[in-house]
Structure 1
């Protein structure tokens, strides 16, 4: 049964929300379909990583290994702000459906890949649809519900994002071992199909007078020309120096294009990024906090497995599982803050408290040594996750409530965009610190032992922590030391302990740098404007932008 058309008044910046006039089960169907769309995109990022070693082994493409990840990251980052703007122009439903259908279709293509080059191409296309989903899903919640209910839902959606990080590695390992790596892509098909059917059947659509002429084609092209070299430059710093010609050339070109993008957007009638929004304190503070928290989040996620495997010597067949405690903290905090912020007048201090908690967790991680217990590390990353989870629903809901409805997609996508850029930059900078300082710290620890010259054969060369702490390489060096008898084994144990202590000293600096950056977010969070979380307003007939319920 069709619902009566609903109209949006020009005078109401928030407008009526799409669930008005929908029945209970239709509303549940819309939320479930949107939530499955988020799960589809978020789960894919963690589930594929587990299967990568098997994929590389079968397709014989080790040289393309990093590009499978980089191609998806670059494409999704580019698409997030573009899709956010297009959703504001043409409505959210077509882009949510296009994102899901395209994501599922490219998943099938990835599963059919015969070589690594094909997989890189298909993953880059999939990244475009993944970026569309991330930009659209959180804006859909803004369309569906008034701010008071929206905050609670954003908390639950943040929990879904965290849950995917827990389920992904385990599911990816099981699927790869029992069904084969191609099924980590095929598994998206049934989930995506159910989500598409739910959205088609229950989600309202919005009338729009926008046309193709309203799309900022030049802005999209210039933005892409700036983001592609920027993301590639940051990604290749793991095996290129920051001062290398490749990195410097890419950064210079990216800088020129992004400066050009600023001037192009100032002249556009429908800019992808309306820079005037940064004059709104709620918007600018939320972008700053999102950028810096992304810096800290990815800094933690990338280096926590090294704490376990490198410093503590914990053997882990799946390093992704080591992050489970952090994601549990994120899920709980995201859900609680989403419920609490609608009951607190000065809810900005919830964000300040969350960042402070995250900062404490980073400081505790910086204190980890070779004698630290596993329980202490688990405690530390739960604290980081709880602090991070508190920022997910709060700043997104605040931004959506602070701006007129026509900027809902732009606002939501910019939060995701700046968090992703911050994470990429944080990974690159903190990774460079690790690479440059690790060999120095290891040398300091070994020098303090005053070992005989024959012990140097047990010291790995290079500063790559993955190769230094590779279990196979350690076992080989241990076997070599055993040929020298008990004394050789004892020397090797001392060398290994010194190497682990060197890594702990290096990570001490890395986590302190991350914590220092978070201090900036802590200061910025105090300046957030506590925008009232307004409820729905009755609409008047005859206005554009009217949502019409699905039949």
Structure 2
């Protein structure tokens, strides 16, 4: 392999195994933590930072993806695959050792840097390993399936591990996997000489302004109900300055973080909007359905893991079926239209299923949502690559992944604000109606609903059903927001032109 190019099927397979192992780590972490979050809050307290445990990871990943992709053009991909795996593993160690929620938030941010570097490097390796479009499509589908399998295993694994061994082992599980992935990638992934020459040009001002805009936006959404006028005005000012600064700077930057050429095609713009919306729907499910199942319906973490597993498992099944169909039908856009329709159906089901929903009904809804994601996510990436010029392939793919995380960041912040505010409103209303005004403050934090391993006295046996009812009402209205995102996505897909993948990527 003197030129870094795999010469036979075995070499290609071993190289992809190295990439897949690294990708598996990042994908597993996206879902395994969601079902452990209630246990984490129960131990470390501070429900106000519930959403930040997830969004700090997403924020760091979003900024790391395009920067890593650009640096990989100058230094090659393999060093960043190795560095990302090491950073991710070290972040996992720190997460497992965290003693308070704020520390865990920062540790998750370090994990997010590693996870973002994985995405920015791993997917960019595929066009180098497989320049032929037909083979590239096959391996992209395989890598997406690997990611989906990891997502599928995450919820059940997170519920089981946190129930039987404690939530810290959810992070410590990454340590041996991380070292195996590191060794495998170092041994078998070939080094391709960088295509770009000269001094690396990274849009650091753009990255800083993007990070400032996203952090201020999330804090603004979370703290708006607190009505601290000076703080709100300050955050709104930072957001406005960052947004205006990006609009002014990006067209003038030599290598902008957000290249204008990627937004020139109207269909590509729709695909980026869809990435924002679908990312918001997906992560709202992964982060807040465990709270609904454990806090609202009272299921144990292991049972909640079983309930959430079909959400990711059916992503795998949907992606496999989608891969067989997408190049064989005249209008591939019908598949994501079907997928978003299923997501809308599931969102409405969770929002209006009521307080007496059974295990089987909730399982059917997560099954529906998982199939919807399976028919949607991979197509957004394939459509983006089909519409993008070869010289923009890497950054366009990174943009699709990054915007999905941006949508997740914004949506989970909105969900966190809605859930907390609506829960406190409903606790006051329901407890007052039941003549339990003196106990409102006791249950004013949803954290009380996910206590584990603690005896329940007679008072709590009376109050707990009232508080669960309050959380279910709050989650119902919050999930209606997720349904709204799905409605907007469905309208966008309906206006998406036919993208003939079969002409460029069909198997022969």
1:517 aligns with 2:503: no
For 2:501, the equivalent position in structure 1 comes to: 532
State the structure with bigger RCO (CA 8 A, min sep 6), 1 or 2. Answer: 1
CA distance in 2, matches of 1:371, 1:294: 29
1:464 aligns with 2:445: yes
For 2:149, the equivalent position in structure 1 comes to: 163
- CA 1:227–1:99 in 2, change beyond 3 Å: closer, same or farther? same
Give 1:215's match in structure 2, choosing from 194, 202, 215.
Answer: 202
For 2:67, the equivalent position in structure 1 comes to: 82
For 1:385, the equivalent position in structure 2 comes to: 370
In the TM superposition, 1:144-543 aligns within 5 A as: 144-145=129-130, 146-168=132-154, 170-171=156-157, 184-200=170-186, 201-234=188-221, 236-237=222-223, 241=226, 245-316=230-301, 319-441=304-426, 453=435, 455-457=436-438, 463-468=444-449, 470=451, 475-476=456-457, 479-480=458-459, 492=462, 497=465, 499-529=467-497, 530-532=499-501
TM-score under structure 1 length normalisation: 0.78
For 2:81, the equivalent position in structure 1 comes to: 96
- CA 1:434–1:162 in 2, change beyond 3 Å: closer, same or farther? same
Please identify, of 217-226 and 176-185, the stretch whose mean Cα deviation from structure 2 is larger. Answer: 176-185
1:44 aligns with 2:29: yes
CA distance in 1, matches of 2:415, 2:38: 24
Unaligned regions of 5+ residues in structure 1, if any? 7-17, 482-488, 537-551
How well do the aligned residues superpose, as a CA RMSD in angstroms? 3.8
CA distance in 2, matches of 1:112, 1:457: 38
Report how far residue 407 of structure 1 moved: 1.6
Q: Check conservation: 2:428, 2:440, Cα contact below 8 A.
A: no
- CA 1:247–1:83 in 2, change beyond 3 Å: closer, same or farther? farther
CA distance in 2, matches of 1:242, 1:221: 27
TM-score under structure 2 length normalisation: 0.84
Q: Check conservation: 2:276, 2:404, Cα contact below 8 A.
A: yes
- CA 1:245–1:381 in 2, change beyond 3 Å: closer, same or farther? farther
Unaligned regions of 5+ residues in structure 2, if any? none
- Tell me how many residue pairs correspond in the alignment: 501
- CA 1:196–1:524 in 2, change beyond 3 Å: closer, same or farther? same
Q: Which has the larger radius of gyration?
A: 1
